[in-house]
Structure 1
Amino acid sequence: MKFTKNILAITVLSSLSISAFAADVTLYGKANLTVQSSDDGEGSYTEVKSNASRIGLKGTHALEDGLEVVYKAEFQVDLDGDSDDNITSRNQYIGLRGAFGEVLVGKNDTVLKQSQGKADLFSDLNGDIKSLFEGENRLSDTITYKSPKFSGIQLGVTYIAEDSVDGESGVSVSAVYGDAKLKKSDIYASLAVDSEVDGYDVIRATVQGKVADFTLGAMLQTQENIDGTEEMDGVMLSAKYTVNKMTYKGQFQAANYKDGDDQTGITVGVDYKLAKSTKLFAFYTNFDLDTQEDKEYLGVGVEYNF
């Protein structure tokens, strides 16, 4: 049954990609695999791990009066073969873009999640900020609006529909300045708020910029469960330095709960660029957790983008 589902998914994706090329749609993807020693708190073991590897289709189609259709269908592919469903959905939506901005409907990252930009240097690995912070939500039944940019500032809002009589809706809003890739601006900054999103209220401020040959980032976050419990203040600091084909990276994260539970995480790593599309990398992550067993990860991997 699992084999049949996988073949069916690949067949559908292949047929879509054939149509996609006829319509100038972009077929893209990323393969990220690591060989690592992992200790989740119960002892270390060796594993081969797929880190949010993906394949997708995306594109636009021009309409009249300056409008265009925007669409994406992205799938996560677990290349290590461990998952029962090794092809699962990621961001999948359709929308309209024009002078008014952009409206997207479907499954999507909330604007608070998007507001982190590129400040999280170990996204999708064990050192990802989602290990200690809430707010990294990709949700179904969303409507997202982003305004045009005014003096480099863009406003955004995601509404999450309740989807059932007993369901709960939520709202995520953001204000973003600059370019997350730091190619069109020297600084990126954002402020975002989640209200009753996936059970939490969150406030997040992020900034990243270039200082000499370094790229420095910082994030401040407060969060609490919608019932008023699990209040937390957090901070994340990141830095990277590139010389020739090598990029050296480091990241510190702390989550301090009002009930006294302190959690910290430190990750260091290095990337070696083989080509624009391909890199080798290594990382070490350690989590110091007050009320849980500490966690530790050491890995080497390869990433290929197309």
Structure 2
Amino acid sequence: MKKSSIAVALVLGSAVSTVAYAEPLTVYGQLNVSAQSSDEGEGRFSELKSNSSRFGLKGDFALDGGMTLVYQVEWAVDLADVSGGENITSRNQYVGLKGNFGEVRLGRHDTALKDAQGKIDLFSDYEADVKALWRGEVRASNSVTYYTPKFNGFGMHLTYVMEDAADAEDAFSASVYYGDENLKDSDYYAAVSMDSEVAGYDTLRLQTQVKAADFKLGAMFHSQENITTGVEQDGWLVSAAYPVGKTELKAQYQTLEDDDAVSVGVDYKAGKNTTLFAWYSSFNFDVNSPDRDYLAVGIKHKF
């Protein structure tokens, strides 16, 4: 076994063995694998894909003064075609404090702009994830994350990314949101978010999702500027989902200037934590890259 795999196994084993007499601890994860037919311009081929499969540990611990220590350590794992030392990679990993002031997290974390999309992207983790066309999907190392308390449904998420080198620059990400991103406590969600010098780009997004007559309808406007070249690009996305019994039908369209992507899919709830799915995505590029299309069927299980 690779050293990284041994280290993770030791951490998990130690954590689980002490949970009975330590602070509350949750072991969680998601296994998501699909059989996929892909055409990226050089002919069609088949492959297995591990779609951001992951596992992690999270918990909290009561402190003096009404504060709570919070932590999360999460890894991505490839169940399909990557083995050895590259099989396990880091995702959100942080420690922080929560109280009447809100919540502060120190470590590696999704930026405020990335986090603000909520559930609008119906094909997240697949080929048509918004990051396929847009910049801004950043999980920032050396970052400080702050969530304000909610007030009348409004909240803020702020990210400060330290430069980590003498010749680098600090970066910032911010989001103001309203409502419930899961559309459980309310039938609407909206957010305005921006990045400043994050991963070489300045970015602005406006996004909203509503539940109406069983439909979930989402929309996003996106604008990005390359800090080095000054090139500016705009795009937009619309998505829709509709339940039919245990099945959910979904569709999505995304653009960036003259490039676009269209996706359709169906999810079937086979159990409380298990979903069977199928989807088709097609990309049309104006220049520099051949058109692409993908067809997949798979299984997603949460634990």
TM class, shorter-length: over 0.9
Match of 1:268 in 2: 264
SS in 1 for 2:66: coil
Match of 2:12 in 1: 13
Give the CA deviation at 1:275. Answer: 1.1
Aligned length: 300
Match of 1:200 in 2: 201
Q: Deviations over 1:42-61 (max 9, x none)?
A: 22211011010000001111
Match of 2:71 in 1: 71
Give the CA deviation at 1:3. Answer: 3.7
Give the CA deviation at 1:305. Answer: 0.2
Match of 1:176 in 2: 177
What amino acid does structure 1 have at the position aligned with 2:11?
Answer: V
SS in 2 for 1:215: strand
**Where does structure 2 lack aligned partners over 5 or more consecutive residues?**
none
SS in 1 for 2:5: helix
What amino acid does structure 1 have at the position aligned with 2:271?
Answer: A
SS in 1 for 2:8: helix
SS in 1 for 2:7: helix
Q: Deviations over 1:86-125 (max 9, x none)?
A: 0111000000011011110000000100000000001000
Moved more, 82-91 or 25-34: 82-91
Give the CA deviation at 1:5. Answer: 3.5
Mapping of residues 1-306 of structure 1, within 5 Å? 3-20=2-19, 22-84=22-84, 85-256=86-257, 262-291=258-287, 292-306=289-303
Match of 1:259 in 2: none
Give the CA deviation at 1:40. Answer: 2.3
The CA distance in 2 between the partners of 1:138 and 1:83, in whole Å, is 23
The CA distance in 2 between the partners of 1:201 and 1:138, in whole Å, is 15
Q: Deviations over 1:66-97 (max 9, x none)?
A: 10011000010101142551011100000001
**Where does structure 1 lack aligned partners over 5 or more consecutive residues?**
257-261
What amino acid does structure 2 have at the position aligned with 1:33?
Answer: V
Cα pair 1:17 1:57 within 8 Å, conserved: no
Alpha-carbon spacing, 1:249–1:148, altered in 2? closer, same or farther (3 Å): same
The CA distance in 2 between the partners of 1:294 and 1:190, in whole Å, is 32
Cα pair 1:20 1:26 within 8 Å, conserved: no
The CA distance in 2 between the partners of 1:87 and 1:240, in whole Å, is 32
What TM-score comes out, normalization by structure 1 length? 0.95
The structure 1 segments of at least 4 consecutive aligned residues displaced by more than 4 Å after TM superposition are none
RMSD (Å), alpha carbons? 1.3
Identity of aligned residues (%): 49
What TM-score comes out, normalization by structure 2 length? 0.96
